[in-house]
A = this chain, B = another copy of it.
Amino acid sequence: MRSIEELTRTHSVNSRIACDRCDVRERALCSALPNVEAQRVHRIAFRRVFQPGRVIACGDRSPDWYAVIVSGVVKLVKSQADGRQQIVALQFPADFIGRPFGKPDALFAEAATDLELCCFAKPSFETLMREQPGLEHALLQRTFDELEAARRWMFVLGRQSAQEKVASFLLLVMQRLHQGCGQPPAGPECKFELPLSRTEIGEYLGLTIETVSRQFRQLKLQGIVETQGKRTVIVKDMGRLERFAESATG
């Protein structure tokens, strides 16, 4: 069942016109390249789409390309033999996937939603990095940012209550989804789609699905959020939600 993937790969020649219109052009790693060089990126880039749940990389069987997320959300999962799973990171549009010059992580990378990637064959990309130190510099800064985010989340996992965890999660998703849209989450209200199911939220927060559900209920009863269907959340009282999460600030 690779039909869609293969189809997309075939379309990759179209990518030559994509960069100019690319939604993440300004924020992605590519923005570290001078415009002239961006033309070279064109030539080695190809787009691929993934359906929710499709595995992008799994431990040592990693793909032969690096990628920038154009749209959609990727979850990075650490799992153990006994079946326990922990989502260790969510990646959003403009984020970079892969570890140039290094051994691949022992992580599953999986499409959490419908996903579009802009891919670069590993050898070509590594050549480009060698020629353009600015690329490596930008990737380093990005990696530091990811490290900082990971450590912030360690606080959530280690020290926050279930209530606070769910609030932190909602804020995280909201902020990351909106930092693409230009306008920051203005006003006290804000509507967005969750990229994860309840089970996955539990796996990200170190909670069971039932506890996640109960905490959503609490937030709804207090008028802090509303839900439409399973995936749509409307934040009604941003201030109170932030006060619940609190730590997100520190």
Q: Given B86, B143, B155, which contacts A143 in the complex, CB threshold below 8 Å? A: B143
Whether B102 lies near A141 (C-beta < 8 A) is yes
B143 touches A205 (CB 8 A): no
Q: How many copies does the complex hold?
A: 2
A78 contacts B147, CB within 8 Å?
no
Are A155 and B86 in touch, CB under 8 angstroms?
A: yes
* Contact of A136 with B by CB under 8 A: yes
Whether A153 sits at the interface, judged by CB under 8 Å, is yes
Chain A residues 213-230 with CB under 8 Å of chain B are none
Identify A140's interface contact among B86, B143, B151, CB under 8 A. Answer: B143
Count residues on chain A whose CB falls below 8 Å from chain B CBs: 42
Contact call B154/A79, Cβ cutoff below 8 A: no
Q: How far is the CA of A147 from the CA of B150 in the complex (A)?
A: 7
Which of the residues B84, B107, B153 comes within 8 Å of A159, measured between beta carbons?
A: B84
Assuming the A-B contacts A81-B246, A81-B250, are A88 and B151 also in contact, with contact meaning beta carbons closer than 8 angstroms in the complex?
yes
Which chain B residue lies CB-closest to A152?
A: B78
Write out the residue numbers on chain B whose beta carbons fall within 8 Å of the beta carbon of A159: 80, 84-86, 206
